[in-house]
Structure formats: C-alpha cells, structure tokens
Structure 1
Amino acid sequence: MESKMIECKNVIYKYENADKNGTKLAINNASLEVKKGEFLVVLGRNGSGKSTIAKHMNALLIPTDGKVYVSGLDTCDEKNVWNIRNKAGMVFQNPDNQIVATIVEEDVAFGPENLGVDPAEIRKRVDECLKKVNMYDYRKHAPHLLSGGQKQRVAIAGVLAMMPECIIFDESTAMLDPSGRKEVMKTIKEINSKYGITIILITHYMEEAVEADRIIVMDEGKIIMEGTPKNIFSQVEKMKNIGLDVPQMTELSYELQRSGINIRKDILTIDEMVDELCQLK
C-alpha cells in the first residue's frame, strides 16, 4: 500500500447543473494510481475532467461514486480531510488567489503557522523553502510587486513549507508568460528530483508534459491514454483527433516522416532532433 501516493478507484463525479438538464458527468468511471515520488502529468482539453480529478486528490471534491485514497486515507471520511490536505498540497492557476500576506516570508509562514508548527521551526522552513524555489533574496519584498512567475514560486514555497508528500499543480502555469512558465517548471522538476516529492501536474502545455515520468490523457471525463511521454506523443494522429497538440519537435518529426524521411517517431526535444538529423545519411 505504501508505494501508492494516490489511488482513484472507479471515480464518478457529477456536477449539479444550474440549467434544466440536472447533472453533468464530469468524471466517468476513472481509475488511476500515482506512485510515491512520481512525476505525473494529466493532459486534456478544456472540459475533459482533468481539473476535476485534481481537486479529488486533496479532498476539495468528494466522488459521487467510487473511492479516492491519499496515502491510504479515504477522502470520503471527513475525519481524514485535514491530514489529506497536509499530505497533498495544491498550487492553483492564479497565484494572486493563493498569496495572503503583504511580505513574501510572512506568506510562506502562513501555512505552517496554521498547522501550529513551532516558531523556530517555521523560521527554518520559510528560509529553506524560499531557497528551494530561488526566492530567498525576495523574502522581504511585497508579493504584489513580483512578476507572475515569481508569485507562483512564492505560492509553491508556501505549500512546500507545510512539508507535503505530494503537490498537485492545477494549471499553475496557465496565467504566466513563457519565461515565468519556464521558471515554475524548473522549480517543479527540482522539487521532484531533489526532494522526492510526488508531483501531479495538470496542464495543456505539451512542452511541460515532456518532463513527466508518465502521462495520463483525459477526454470527456474518461482516462483514454496512459504511458511515457515518448509513448503518448508518438501517437500524433490520436492526439490531434482528441483536440490536443504534441510538442513541436514531435510534430516536426511526424511531418518529416510523412514526407518520406526515415526519422524516429518519438522525438520530444530540440536536442534529440539535432542528434537524429546529424545521423541522417
């Protein structure tokens, strides 16, 4: 049991619709497991159910039917909610909604203070977590003066300070410019590789998904594909049919193949493309 961070078993979730149709099925019998220490990406177009499933992973939503376990704890049991949210932190799309204090270091201290952590330990955690996201030099700054990418890194530090085993990023780079996105992705990768924290990244940016250990693709509330980035993205036609892109280099190799050039299908990055092209006779 212990190697599983999150387990979703036959999850069904229905939204009560305001219109006359009654309910909308947002998740349709989805089952998945997330291993401890894994970097999992969940892809899907808008309305596919990817953000809804993310909110089940720290008990923000409770399944209409089926079960979700976080580190073995059943999300349906109200007594577990506090523990679950300490184990699985969440970083949202808009950092402004997650930042509560007027000074960066006070913002990062907010979570641990609420957990009743000892002040000396809080001080230590705040400094460590700001260093982990490369924002230590900004600890005395006002968050509203920071860039979007910097704010999002402060929000990540705030979640890290609560020492979760898992962090769920719900489209956390969607409102950032490309350089902000890059900063945040670098931080997410480091948190996973250096500190072994389980990462679940919900995104619609294919270039971000390249970094994952495993990708799950959702459509109409169902999990329709699952595999490594190479495995998923080499299925270009299938991805396009469900309205998703593939990374630019995968797209390029697909087009080159179609024009008769003998090239690998599963190229994801510029470096791989350069290597492959250099080997062409």
Structure 2
Amino acid sequence: MDKNMILCKDVSYKYEDTDKGNSKLAVDHVTFEVKKGEFLVILGRNGSGKSTIAKHMNALLIPTGGKVYVEDFDTCDEKNIWNIRNKAGMVFQNPDNQIVATIVEEDVAFGPENLGVLPEEIRLRVDDCLKRVNMQEYKRYAPHLLSGGQKQRVAIAGVLAMRPDCIIFDESTAMLDPSGRREVMNTIKEINGKYNMTVILITHYMEEAVEANRIIVMDEGKIIMEGTPRKIFSQVRKMKDMGLDVPQMTELAYELKANGVDIRSDILTIDEMVSELCRLK
C-alpha cells in the first residue's frame, strides 16, 4: 500500500453562481493522497465539501486551483479523461440513476460494451462481477423488481465490470434502509479486503466509517482531522462541535467516562464494549 492511487495537491474549487454574480469556495486548498488498496472514508456535514472533492477524483469536476492526479494522470488534461474514468469508477446516491437496462445482466454489461470489450470477455466479467456482489441469482431479473440495496449492488457490479483500480462511493447508502445499507457495506468491505481494490467512501453514517483504514474529516472546504477511526472517534467533543456524530458505542463510552466509570474512550463496536465492561467487573 505504498503507491498513490489518487493525489490531491492544494486543490481548490469554486462554484460560480452566474445568476447572482457571486461564487462559493467549496474546496479550500486541500492536500491528501489515497494509497493503492486503501479504504478511505471522508466525513463532513452537508456543505463541507466532501462530495465536491469526491467528484474531482474521477474528473467529473476539474479544480479551480491545484492539481488532482489519478495514477499519475492529471485530471486537468482532457486527453486523460478516458483513462481516469477507467481507473476510478463512481457509485452515486440513487441507484435508479445508474441503472440503464431492463435486465440486470444487460445493465452490468453496458459499461464493458461501451469500452469495446469482446462479447465472450463481457460474459465472463458479468458473471464474475455479479458473483462478487452476491447477485448472480438475480441476473435475469428486471431491476425495478429489486430492493434498494440490491439495485445498489447491481450498480456496483456495473462499475466493477469496467475493471477500475478504485471505486468512489458518493453517499451510496444514503437512500437505503438499514438492511440495504448493511448489504452494500458488506460488498464494499469485500471488494476492498478480498480483491484489494482502493475504496473511497463518502458517508454520513459513523458505523460505516468504523470499517476504514483512515478517515478524513472535512468542514467548510478544509481538512480538519485525519487519522484512524479509533483516533478520530475518540475525539467526541470535537466531532460534536462540528455537527457530526460518533458511533453509538463510542458515545456510550464517552458518557460512562464522564460519569466516573474507568473505561477506554476509543471503543468503536458492541464487541469491544462488552469485553471492556466484563473487564470492569
């Protein structure tokens, strides 16, 4: 995990409001890198700049200032767009906006077909990618018959079929119910852990962020905090002051500690809480 998948150097981005003649600085001199094979989570409240920076990572947006490199390809150079989008796929919030075909397997085949991949190779990719997201038995289904979580997994399979090196999930679980969110998170963890694919997840859900190798917290277009989930979430007061939550078990540990219980402040999961409470007996 030593080579950069993505490098953002002093990136700024302004949204121009032509009607009112003013502009808003959405990303403000941001610098960070994403290593190959890393699972990075970007957190921040609405308007923090997290989705804007995500869209820079596959050249949907071009920086107003600074540079973004995707595997050494400069996103500012139009000649690189095709290569960049092959390297970094994107899964959005609403799966209905990403599904284009009337049958699941045809939807997954759509991307490779547009890349000019040979039909026999497409067949292999479709079967492989549906298997990776545990949707192979639904390959002949119509997407509108699927649940939200299943649709999102089909959208992920469609991106995987393009063989990217990195997938950016821009609040991809925001419209799902808890079981759909769990399904998609299991898929995201598996493609990162089992297939060593670089994953960047933009999310509002702190329980999802616990799974990351590293977390970046953004506020007002800047990076405010950066570190492991344990390091970030143990700073409960700082997170709350930014209008962000922490995982439920971290919050419980914080409240217990505030009430005089001698307990670790960096607990993230129920299992950790149980073992810590057993230790206190």
Which range, TM-score by smaller chain? Answer: over 0.9
1:69 aligns with 2:77: no
For residues 166-205 of structure 1, the aligned pairs below 5 Å read: 166-205=166-205
Unaligned runs of 5+ in 1: none
Which runs of structure 1 show a deviation greater than 2 angstroms over 4 or more consecutive aligned residues? Answer: 18-21
For residues 267-278 of structure 1, the aligned pairs below 5 Å read: 267-278=267-278
Give the whole-Å Cα distance in 2 for the aligned partners of 1:127 and 1:220.
43
Please list the CA deviations of residues 150-173 of structure 1 after superposition, one character each: whole Å capped at 9, or x if unmatched. 000000000000000000000000
Match of 1:208 in 2: 208
Match of 1:226 in 2: 226
Match of 1:84 in 2: 84
Q: Count the aligned residue pairs.
A: 281
Please list the CA deviations of residues 11-62 of structure 1 after superposition, one character each: whole Å capped at 9, or x if unmatched. 0000012453511000000001000000000000000000000000000000
Give the whole-Å Cα distance in 2 for the aligned partners of 1:207 and 1:196.
21
Q: TM-score, normalised by structure 1?
A: 0.99
Identity within the alignment, %: 80
Give the whole-Å Cα distance in 2 for the aligned partners of 1:2 and 1:225.
22
Unaligned runs of 5+ in 2: none
Give the whole-Å Cα distance in 2 for the aligned partners of 1:22 and 1:124.
51
Match of 2:128 in 1: 128
1:11·1:29 contact (CA, 8 Å) conserved in 2? yes
Please list the CA deviations of residues 88-144 of structure 1 after superposition, one character each: whole Å capped at 9, or x if unmatched. 000000000000000000000000000000100000000000000000000000001
Match of 1:147 in 2: 147
Please state whether the residue corresponding to 2:194 is helix, strand or coil: helix
For residues 96-107 of structure 1, the aligned pairs below 5 Å read: 96-107=96-107
Match of 1:108 in 2: 108
Measure how far apart 1:221 and its partner are.
Answer: 0.3
Give the whole-Å Cα distance in 2 for the aligned partners of 1:81 and 1:223.
26
Match of 1:254 in 2: 254
1:42·1:50 contact (CA, 8 Å) conserved in 2? yes
1:29 aligns with 2:32: no
Which letter does structure 2 place at the counterpart of 1:17? D
